[in-house]
């Protein structure tokens, strides 16, 4: 059996807590943030630590997102309870801070939108020798009414490889320490054992140190090109652009190579499905998809009413309209290139966000079915949204799955199909409707974010 399994959201939440409760040696969890209501998850980790004195736990989140609500209850204050009960010898809480947001820029950019300048975005959930890769954060809505993807890799080699990636980024991150005198109940400190200096003290020197730490992990090596078991190979790919100079990230190069291969005569007439909850592909990525000479290509994205920012206050409330503008631009480009008969854009909607039975859409990935085959044999799983942000500002961890295993191909095909159960094709006429028109203020906001160094 191949070392990977596809899981449903509710099943994943149950399985993850079950695995955590039985952990023997290690737990490392990398996420953008832990939801402030995840008391059951914290209790499960607490119980596991109590049951096994040899267990050690490390959790990595983003510093901006993890402390945004402070001094009120926040991700950091929730996680600090584990530190308080078990101490830093068994629990560490790490928070990565982008070197792209410092000084005056950090002081003037509002907390609500400062994540547009770069985040720790990896989703790696490892217990002993099994790791779940996903696009989902550790928050209740991802397991109840938010559509995402979850793949379980049952492999010590894969868990160890991503463990090395995790460790390197953790050693480039701040630590949470308990401080009852602080109004937040915690402080962020830069340990002397960390890679020096801290990103807020000297961003350029920090990047230079980070480059030395990460570059060797991203180089192809004879012992870690990917795990092959039977007819399945797993190739880890990561994007660490804000931490590397020169940039030796391998996610974008790998994705580029895969898409370019589709335009060759040998792979012409392949079929592909691409999905991202936030529709903001770069022109170069768009061009690679459209040049693939596919028998059929399908793009699935969230409708405005399934976008996680729908109904948000302030600037972030404009994001669904901004993504609508980008969707319309994509459809226009498809039409201009005469590809409307082979390339389809679908919008996913299941109710309306913030209303009863309303879901959000957060899935991301790629499935490729080769000529003459019925099911996908190539798929990408991980944290990346494949946007300008993903490839220039955020930290991403992903895996390329290449398989000839018929059972796994079947399950990948079922996953690809299931993600389209609530998706409907949209054409240029849809974007002509009054409710889909994008105002000038949205376009100006998009321009301003880019101007000051951020991205959607």
Least confident range of 76-80, 143-147, 265-269, 399-403: 143-147
Predicted confidence (pLDDT) per residue in 268-301, tens digit: 999 999 999 888 888 889 999 999 989 999 999 9
Taking residues 78-95, what's their average pLDDT?
A: 97
Residue 318's beta-bridge partner residues? none
Enzyme catalytic residues? 121, 123, 128
pLDDT of residue 223: 45
Q: How far apart are CA 328 and CA 345, in angstroms?
A: 10
Within 8 A by CB and 6+ apart from 179, the residues are 185, 186, 187
For residue range 317-328, list pLDDT tens digits in order.
888 888 888 899
Decide: 454 and 121 in contact? Cβ < 8 Å: no
* pLDDT tens profile 50-70: 999 999 999 999 999 999 999
Going across the sheet that includes 150-154, the strands are: 4-7, 150-154, 130-134, 124-127, 26-30, 56-62, 91-96, 174-178, 186-189
Per residue in 127-173, pLDDT tens?
Answer: 999 999 999 999 988 878 999 999 999 999 999 999 999 999 999 99
Rounded Cα distance between 23 and 255, Å, is 34
Tell me the HSE value of 304 on the side-chain side, using a 13 A CA sphere: 22
Model confidence over 216-234: pLDDT tens digits?
A: 999 876 544 455 557 999 9
> Which contacts (CB < 8 Å, 24+ apart) does range 421-425 have?
422/147, 422/348, 422/349, 422/350, 422/359, 423/300, 423/346, 423/347, 423/348, 423/349, 424/346, 424/347, 424/349, 425/344, 425/345, 425/346
Q: What is the mean pLDDT of the chain?
A: 91
Euclidean distance between CA atoms 208 and 243, whole angstroms: 8
Distance CA 260, CA 251 (A): 14
CA distance linking residue 233 with residue 439, whole number of Å: 47
Burial letters for 194-210: b for 16+ Cβ neighbours within 10 Å, e otherwise? bbeebbbeebeebbebb
Between CA 363 and CA 209 the distance in angstroms is 33
pLDDT at 451 over 60: no
CA dihedral 332, 334, 340, 342 (to 10 degrees): -160
Residue with tokens 């895996």: 399
Burial of 130 (0-12, 13-18, 19+ CB in 10 A): buried
> What pLDDT score does 113 carry?
84
Alpha-carbon span 135 to 383, nearest angstrom: 4
Contact at 8 Å (CB) between 28 and 166? yes
CA dist 85 and 239 (Å) reads 35
Strand bridging mode 343-348 / 296-302: parallel
pLDDT of 452 higher than 50: no
DSSP 120: B
How large a percentage of the chain has pLDDT more than 90? 76
> How many Å apart are CA 86 and CA 104, to the nearest integer?
38
How big is the chain by its Cα radius of gyration, in Å? 21
By CB atoms closer than 10 A (0-12, 13-18, 19+), residue 367 is buried
Nearest to 241 by CA among 393, 32, 383, 387: 393
Paired strand residues for 62: 96
State the pLDDT at residue 449. 56
Yes or no: say if 95 and 63 are a contact pair by the CB < 8 Å rule: yes
Contact 238, 398 (CB under 8 A): yes
In the chain, the N- to C-terminal Cα span, in Å, equals 39
Q: How far is CA 454 from CA 98, 100, 402, 444, 447, in A?
A: 12, 9, 34, 14, 10
Show the tokens assigned to 90: 């068994």
């Amino acid at each position: 059996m191949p070392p990977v399994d596809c899981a449903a959201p509710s099943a994943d939440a149950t399985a993850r807590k079950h695995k955590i409760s039985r952990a023997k040696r290690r737990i490392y969890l990398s996420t953008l943030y832990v939801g402030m209501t995840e008391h059951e998850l914290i209790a499960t980790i607490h119980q596991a630590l109590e049951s096994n004195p040899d267990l050690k736990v490390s959790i990595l989140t983003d510093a901006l997102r993890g402390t945004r609500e402070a001094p009120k209850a926040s991700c950091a204050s929730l996680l600090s309870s584990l530190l308080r009960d078990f101490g830093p010898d068994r629990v560490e809480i790490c928070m990565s801070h982008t070197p792209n947001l410092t000084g005056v820029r950090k002081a003037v950019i509002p907390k609500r939108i400062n994540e547009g300048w770069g985040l720790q975005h990896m989703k790696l959930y490892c217990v002993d020798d099994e790791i779940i890769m996903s696009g989902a954060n550790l928050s209740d809505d991802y397991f109840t009414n938010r559509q995402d993807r979850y793949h379980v890799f049952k492999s010590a080699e894969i868990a160890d490889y991503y463990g090395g990636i995790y460790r390197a980024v953790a050693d480039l991150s701040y630590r949470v320490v308990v401080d009852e005198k602080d109004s937040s109940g915690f402080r962020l400190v830069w340990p002397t054992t960390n890679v020096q200096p801290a990103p807020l003290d000297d961003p350029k020197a920090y990047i230079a140190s980070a480059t030395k730490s990460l570059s060797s992990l991203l180089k192809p090596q004879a012992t870690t090109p990917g795990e092959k078991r039977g007819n399945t190979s797993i190739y880890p790919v990561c994007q660490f652009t804000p931490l590397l100079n020169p940039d030796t990230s391998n996610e974008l190069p790998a994705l580029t190579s895969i898409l370019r291969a589709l335009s060759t005569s040998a792979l012409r007439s392949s079929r592909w499905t691409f999905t991202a909850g936030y529709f903001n592909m770069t022109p170069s990525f768009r061009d690679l998809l459209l040049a693939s000479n596919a028998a059929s290509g399908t793009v699935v994205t969230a409708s405005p009413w399934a976008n996680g920012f729908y109904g948000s206050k302030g600037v972030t409330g404009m994001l669904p309209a901004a993504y609508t503008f980008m969707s319309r631009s994509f459809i226009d480009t498809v039409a201009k290139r005469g590809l409307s008969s082979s390339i389809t854009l679908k919008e996913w909607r299941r109710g309306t966000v913030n209303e009863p039975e309303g879901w959000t859409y957060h899935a991301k990935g790629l499935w490729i079915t080769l000529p003459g085959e019925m099911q996908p044999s190539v798929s990408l799983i991980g944290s990346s949204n494949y946007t300008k942000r993903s490839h220039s500002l955020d930290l991403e961890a992903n895996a390329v799955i290449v398989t000839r295993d018929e059972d796994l191909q079947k399950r990948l095909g079922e996953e690809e199909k299931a993600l389209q159960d609530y998706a409907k094709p949209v054409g240029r006429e849809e974007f002509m409707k009054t409710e889909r028109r994008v105002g000038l203020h949205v376009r100006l906001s998009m321009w301003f974010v880019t101007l000051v160094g951020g991205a959607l």
